[in-house]
A and B are shown apart, each in its own frame.
Chain A
Amino acid sequence: MSAIEAHNLGKRYRKAGVGAPTLRDALKRAFLRKPMEDFWAVRGLTFKIEPGCTIGVIGANGSGKSSLLGLVAGTITPTEGTVRANGRISSLLELGAGFHPNLSGRENVFLNAAILGIAREDVRKRFDAIVEFAGLRDFIDMPVKHYSSGMYVRLAFAVAVEMKPDVLLVDEVLSVGDTAFQTKCLNRIMDFKRRGKTILLVSHALETVEQFCDEVMLINQGRLVQRGPPGEVIFNYLRTYLAHVGQLTVEEYGTREVEIRHVRLLDGAGQEAAKFTTGEPLHVEVTYHANRRIENPVFGFSLKTGNGTYLFGSNTQILNYRIAAIEGTGVMRLTINPLTLMAGRFLLSLSIHSWDHSVQYHRQEDLYPFLVKDDPDHHGVVQLSTKWELKPGP
C-alpha cells in the first residue's frame, strides 16, 4: 500500500477571496452575479509515494508546493480529486503554531505537544531531552513572548520531532536557526529516514534536497512537471524554470548597444548539453548582435557555485584578445578546457562591456546554470592537476 496517494488532486482559490471576506462582498457577488476570478494553486496531481521514500518537492515560489503539503496534511480540503495518506501524518509546517505568548516555555511544550497529538505521558518522559535539544534549559520557565525568534523556533522544533509519524511533512523548516541547529535538525530528519518513515520535503535548498531525497517532484504552476532522480529533476528545474523566471540572483542589465541574443553550452563532442564532465571541455557559444559599430568591446564571463561563491572570472582583455570592432550579428566562442570543476551545480554569467569598463553593454548575471559530474573518487569544488613523487631517504 502506498504511503501517500493522490488522484487528480486540485485546489482552487478565489481571487476575490484573498482579502478579508465581508458580507458586503458576498452580497455584491450574489446580486451582481459577477463571475469570480479563480486560480488553481494545484491541479491534476496524480502520484503515489511508496512507504519509506523521501520525496523532495521543488518549484518556484507560488508554484503550489505548500498547498500540496497542506492538502496531504489535511489542513486544506481539495476542490477536486482525492489525496490519502496511510498511517499517522505529522507536519513540520509552521513551527510554533499554537504557542501562547503569555505561557512559559514549559507550558507551551505540553500545549504544543497536545496540538501535535503527542501523548502527555510521552512528553513528560522526554521533557528533559526536549529542553536539552532546544538548548533552553535556563529559559524554560520564561514566557515565550520574551524568547528570541531563534529560541522560539528551536523549542517548537524540539517538540515537533518528538512525534512518531509514519509520514512526515517538512516545509522549509531547515532554514531556521543558526548553522549548528540546522545540522541538528537535519540529523533528526535523517533519523526519521533511517527508521523507514516516508518523508515529503519542500525546500528551496536544492543541495539538501539532492542529498536527502530518493526522488524529486518538480511542480510548476500547480502541476506536476517531472518526477525522477534528484539530480536530473533539479537540473531540469534550474535549466527550464529557475533561470527564466527571475528566481535566484539572476539579473540582466546593460545599455543593450550590443545584445547577447542566444547562448549555447556545448560539450566536447559539440553537442548542446546541460551536464558536463570534469576534465573534458566546455564550450560556450554566444550569439551577439551589435546595434551599431562598437570599437574595442570586451567579452567576459564568470562562474559561481550553486550557492553563490565566486569561483573564477576572466575576459578577453585579461587574455589580451583584442577585438577591433563588432557590428551586426556574430558568434563568440569561449572554450574552457579542461573543465576543472568538480561535481555540483554552477552558474555562468556573461558580459560584454567597453574597453575602459565604463559602459556595460549587456550583462547576464547567473543566467546559465549547469551541472558537472565527476569521478566519485575525488572530492571538492575544483580539480587540481596533481602529481606525487616519492624520494626515499638514504
Chain B
Amino acid sequence: MHSLVIAWRHRELLWNLAGRDLKGRYKDSVLGLLWTILAPLFMAAIYIFFLRLLGGRGLQISLADIVIGVFAWQFTVQCVTSGLTAFTGNANLVKKVFFPRLLLPTSVVLSALVNFLLMLVVQLPLVAFLLWHSGGTMSLWTLALPVVILYHTFFNLLLALAVSAANVYFRDTQHLVGLGLSAWFFLSPVMYPLSFVHDLAARWPWVEQVYQLNPLTVIITAYRALQAGAPLVLTPAAIAGWLWPLAGAAVVFWVFNRAQRNFADHL
C-alpha cells in the first residue's frame, strides 16, 4: 500500500509519463488513437468469423460475450507487453535520474487504462446493440462496471510490476511471457463463454475449480455478467480467484521493491 501512496504523491510525473506513452504510441500514425478501438474490434470480428466458420451455425455463442472478452483481454495484454519494456526500454532514464521506479510500470498501466476506457465507449453501445439484436437488454448492473475495472486495473498493475522487474534481470522474460500469453488466451474465457468448460468439468470436476482460480476468468465473467445481467459465478474457487491476487499483491510489491534497488546495474 505504501507503494500506492508513493505513486499518488508523484501523480504529476505519473500523468506525464502516461501521456508520453499515449502520445508517443500514436504520434506518427494517420488513424492515431482510432487504432485503440479498431484493433480489438477487428480481432473480435476475426474470432467471430472463424468460430462461426469452424463451429457451424449451431454453435451457441453470444457475440456480445466475445466483444466483451476480447476487449478485456486486450487491456491485460497491453499492460503486460508494455510492462515488459517499462524499464528495459527506458534504461537511460532509470540509470541517470532518480525517481520512484514504481512509476514507470504504473504509468504504462495508466495509459493502457485510458485506452481501455476509450474502448469501452465503443464497446458499451455495441454490446447493447448486440444484446438487443438477440432479444435481450443491457442490465442496469452495467453501472457497477467501475468496480470490476478498478480490480482489473489493479490486477494488471501487479502483472506489469512483475514482468517489468523480471525482464530487467532476465531478458528471457519477454519470450516466456509471449508464450505464456498465448496459452493464457485459451485458458481464459476470452473468445468463448464459461459454459465451454462445462463438458470437461463434468468428467473432471477439479478442472472447473482450477479454471476459476484464474483471475482473468472471474474478471471477464464478471464483465459479461454485469452487462448481460447473468448471475455472477460465486463458487468457492471463483471467490478464491478474486481474492488471491489481493494477497499476492503484498508479495509482488515486496519483491519489486527489493528488485528495483539494483535495476541500474542490470540495464
- Chain A, interface residues (CB within 8 Å), range: 20 to 34
* A111 B172 Cβ-Cβ under 8 A: no
Partner pick for A75 among B90, B97, B170, CB 8 A cutoff? B97
* B172 A91 Cβ-Cβ under 8 A: no
Residue-wise, chain A 17-29 has the 8 Å CB interface mask toward B (1 for contact) of 1001111101000
* A22 B172 Cβ-Cβ under 8 A: yes
- For B, the interface residue count at a CB cutoff of 8 angstroms equals 31
Give the secondary structure class of B's interface: helix
B222 shortest CB reach to chain A, Å: 35
* Pair count A-B, CB < 8 A: 88
* A24 B172 Cβ-Cβ under 8 A: yes
* B96 A21 Cβ-Cβ under 8 A: no
Partner pick for A97 among B16, B97, B261, B262, CB 8 A cutoff? B97
* B23 A93 Cβ-Cβ under 8 A: no
Q: B3 at the A/B interface (Cβ < 8 Å)?
A: no
* A75 B96 Cβ-Cβ under 8 A: yes
Partner pick for B264 among A23, A75, A114, A117, CB 8 A cutoff? A75
Q: B99 at the A/B interface (Cβ < 8 Å)?
A: yes
Partner pick for A102 among B28, B94, B95, B168, CB 8 A cutoff? B28
From A20, A94, A114, A143, name the one whose CB has the most chain B CB atoms within 10 angstroms.
Answer: A114
Residues of B close to A107: CB separation below 8 A? 20, 23
Residues of B close to A98: CB separation below 8 A? 90, 92-93, 97
Using CB atoms and an 8 Å cutoff, list the residues of chain B in contact with chain A: 12-13, 15-17, 19-20, 23-24, 27-28, 90, 92-99, 168-173, 261-262, 264-266
Using CB atoms and an 8 Å cutoff, list the residues of chain A in contact with chain B: 13, 17, 20-24, 26, 70, 73-77, 89, 91, 93-94, 97-98, 100, 102-103, 107, 110-111, 114-117, 119-120, 143
A-B contact pairs, 21 of them (CB 8 A): A13-B265, A17-B265, A20-B171, A22-B171, A23-B170, A75-B95, A75-B98, A77-B264, A91-B96, A93-B96, A97-B97, A98-B92, A102-B27, A103-B20, A111-B20, A114-B15, A114-B17, A115-B13, A115-B16, A117-B13, A120-B12
For the complex of A and B, the 8 pairs showing the least CB-CB separation, nearest first, are: A94-B96, A114-B16, A77-B261, A74-B98, A102-B27, A23-B172, A97-B92, A97-B96
